[in-house]
């Protein structure tokens, strides 16, 4: 690791970026036979890989995910992230896996990538309306740049982010919620849903205000402020 405090790296410098291949559905099953397959975003539930399809037949040069890989959906629903806690799995072309190298905190990488993914996700186009699926270019993903301080600093930064979630748990969680994994997950997921609903409502209100201002004397500063906030909420709502 360099001594430069702002050690700026590309994603491909600090982890392996593995994209899967198409898997013939006829070779898969839902009986748990063979290796699990990461089919797509629907397999990433509450931040972890939950398999629904398996494959016990021979495939041509499949791409495998390992336990601990960060999985990202790159087709259809873009940028949904989860951890592979299931063990060896086959990657479909709808997902890619990030495998952090030594000296890289998995939690720090997830936090950074969750934000920077927003700039790599293409805007909605007419192609989507016409029935083509949205795609996230994995080559673009590999070039995402961010600072990678030394490991202890990465872990400290993650601890500060975690403190925000701790405040939410302290405010909204009950004592009994901390007695089970599902209890803590439930509190966090409920808060996440409420925050998304709040941001969506704010975005809609800002759109209404912008519409009302169209017929009034133009205040460029106010319009720019509204546009900036609408853009911010639009990006935040892309986080899956």
The pLDDT tens digits of the residues spanning 164-195 come to 878 877 777 777 877 888 887 788 788 778 87
What 3-state class would DSSP assign to 212? helix
Per residue in 126-156, pLDDT tens? Answer: 444 334 467 889 999 999 999 999 999 999 9
pTM above 0.85, yes or no: no
Per residue in 21-63, pLDDT tens? Answer: 999 999 999 999 999 999 999 999 988 999 999 999 999 999 9
pLDDT band at 1 (very low <50, low <70, confident <90, very high): very low
Interstrand relation of 89-91 and 35-38 (parallel, antiparallel or unpaired): parallel
Angle, helices 106-120 vs 151-172, to 10°: value is 80
- The Cα 136–Cα 113 span in angstroms is 13
Per residue in 82-125, pLDDT tens? Answer: 999 989 999 999 999 999 999 999 999 999 998 888 888 876 54
What 3-state class would DSSP assign to 98? strand
Is a pLDDT exceeding 80 seen at residue 233? no
Question: For the chain, first and last CA: distance in Å?
Answer: 31
Could you tell me if 89 and 38 are in contact, meaning their C-beta atoms sit under 8 angstroms apart? yes
């Amino acid at each position: 690791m360099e001594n430069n405090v702002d050690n700026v790296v590309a994603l491909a410098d600090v982890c392996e970026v593995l994209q899967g291949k198409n898997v013939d559905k006829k070779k898969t099953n839902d009986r748990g036979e063979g290796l699990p397959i990461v089919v797509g975003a629907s397999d990433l539930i509450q931040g972890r890989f939950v398999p629904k399809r398996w494959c016990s037949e021979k495939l041509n040069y499949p791409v495998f995910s390992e336990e601990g890989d960060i999985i990202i959906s790159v087709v259809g629903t873009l940028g949904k992230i989860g951890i592979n806690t299931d063990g060896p799995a086959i990657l479909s072309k709808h997902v890619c896996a990030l495998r952090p190298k030594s000296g890289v905190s998995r939690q720090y990488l997830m936090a950074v990538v969750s934000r920077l993914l927003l700039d790599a996700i293409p805007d909605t186009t007419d192609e989507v309306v016409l029935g083509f699926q949205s795609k996230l270019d994995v080559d673009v993903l590999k070039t995402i740049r961010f600072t990678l301080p030394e490991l202890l600093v990465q872990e400290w930064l993650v601890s500060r982010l975690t403190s925000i979630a701790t405040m939410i748990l302290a405010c909204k969680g009950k004592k009994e919620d901390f007695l089970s994994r599902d209890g803590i997950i439930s509190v966090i997921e409920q808060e996440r849903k409420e925050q998304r609903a709040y941001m969506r409502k704010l975005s809609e209100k800002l759109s209404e205000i912008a519409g009302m201002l169209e017929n009034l004397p133009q205040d460029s500063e106010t319009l720019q402020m509204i546009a900036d906030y609408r853009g911010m909420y639009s990006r935040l709502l892309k986080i899956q």
